[in-house]
């Protein structure tokens, strides 16, 4: 029996079961039929964040940012490029701390941008400050 992974849809946030060996075949959501992997970071609010955190077998890396933050805007294209490179092995997502301040408080975000990596619903790594492309790739590879 193949290993099955649980992957929330980036569009409707429904949980999907996907055989691990089929991740590279561009699977679609069983509910909304949209692609499960778009090559772009997923924008999350409080409710969708909890769904992705609780129902994903993939590592989740979240960029906590704000629209007024210059370093956040500088890092945004680098983060987007990493999403295209690391999917489907890692899900990259963004949380706007201005729009969802409760999540920033929940995870004690003191400076932005801050990246937090989660696995199995638990924080496994944190990185504060903007990263260039090479540094971000190194950090993402270090997550295993």
Residue 58 φ/ψ, nearest 5 degrees:
-90, 150
Inter-CA distances, 128 with 47, 77, 88, Å: 24, 17, 24
Report, as residue numbers or ranges, the catalytic residues: 69, 72
The sign of the CA dihedral 121, 88, 115, 124 is positive
Q: What angle do CA 48, 53, 55 make, to 5 degrees?
A: 90
């Amino acid at each position: 029996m193949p290993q099955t992974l649980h992957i929330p849809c980036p569009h409707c946030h429904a949980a999907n079961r996907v055989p691990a060996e089929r991740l590279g075949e561009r699977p679609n959501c069983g509910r909304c039929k949209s692609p499960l992997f778009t090559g772009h970071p997923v924008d999350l609010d409080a409710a969708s964040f909890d769904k992705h955190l609780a129902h994903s077998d993939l590592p989740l890396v979240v960029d906590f940012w704000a629209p007024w933050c210059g370093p956040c805007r500088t890092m945004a294209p680098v983060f987007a490029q990493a999403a295209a490179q690391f999917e489907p092995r890692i899900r990259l997502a963004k949380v706007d701390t201005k729009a969802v301040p409760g999540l920033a408080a929940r995870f004690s975000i003191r400076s932005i941008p801050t990246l937090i990596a989660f696995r199995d619903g638990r924080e496994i790594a944190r990185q504060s400050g903007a990263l260039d492309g090479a540094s971000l790739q190194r950090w993402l590879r270090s997550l295993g």
